[in-house]
């Protein structure tokens, strides 16, 4: 029986019955989810913890892919890989160095506009968005909605900065 097909059909019992045949992390994940769907929470937890441990180990691939991208000068690709790696290994100083070097890219701002500020904020680039709001508030009339949005972005920037500090604090 093909475990993936049984899972896609919602035949969770068949997936669980073939659990001994599960070799790959993907197959074990299907077994864990199937156990969960069948209400066998303790058994599901054991399998899913095993899968998550495997995922943690396999996440190391992102670090080495990032290093290859850095060697090639592909900082955006390296940044993406490190962003995938860091949640698994938040205390890895070498990865944090790559993360910081990727953050020092030249600014993307060409001409400040309200739309660009909103776009940056929506993507989580709060510092860039805040810089645009500051420029816009200096040059344009004080629009209460723009000022309110600028304060919201400022709060998000502060929160993001504090979260970064907390992640780097020794435990």
Q: Across the 171 residues of the chain, what is the mean pLDDT of every consecutive 10-residue run?
A: 90 93 93 95 95 92 92 88 88 80 51 77 81 78 76 82 74 65
Q: Are 4 and 24 in contact (CB under 8 A)?
A: no
| CA pair distance 27, 4, nearest whole angstrom | 8
Nearest to 13 by CA among 3, 26, 23, 27: 3
User: Is the model's pTM score more than 0.85?
Assistant: no
Percent of the chain residues past pLDDT 70, beyond the cut:
89
Q: Which two tokens stand for residue 23?
A: 């070799």
Q: Are 136 and 167 in contact (CB under 8 A)?
A: no
Which pLDDT belongs to residue 110?
56
Domain segments of the chain: what residues? Answer: 3-58, 60-103, 114-168
With a CB cutoff of 8 Å and minimum separation 6, the contacts of 120 are: 126, 128, 129, 132
Enter the DSSP assignment of 91: T
Which pLDDT belongs to residue 89?
86
Which pLDDT belongs to residue 167?
73
């Amino acid at each position: 029986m093909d475990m993936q097909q049984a899972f896609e059909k919602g035949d969770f019992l068949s997936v669980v019955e073939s659990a001994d045949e599960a070799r790959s992390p993907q197959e074990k994940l299907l077994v864990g989810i199937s156990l969960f769907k069948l209400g066998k929470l303790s058994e599901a937890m054991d399998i899913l913890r095993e899968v998550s441990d495997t995922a943690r180990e396999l996440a190391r691939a992102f670090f080495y892919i990032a290093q290859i991208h850095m060697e090639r000068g592909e900082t955006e690709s390296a940044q993406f890989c490190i962003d995938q790696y860091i949640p698994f290994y938040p205390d890895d100083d070498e990865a944090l160095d790559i993360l910081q070097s990727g953050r020092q890219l030249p600014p993307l701002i060409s001409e400040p506009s309200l739309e660009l500020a909103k776009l940056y904020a929506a993507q989580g680039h709060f510092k860039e968005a805040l810089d645009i709001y500051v420029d816009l508030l200096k040059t344009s009339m004080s629009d209460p909605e723009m000022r309110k949005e600028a304060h919201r972005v400022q709060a998000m920037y502060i929160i993001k900065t504090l979260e970064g500090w907390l992640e780097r604090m020794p435990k």
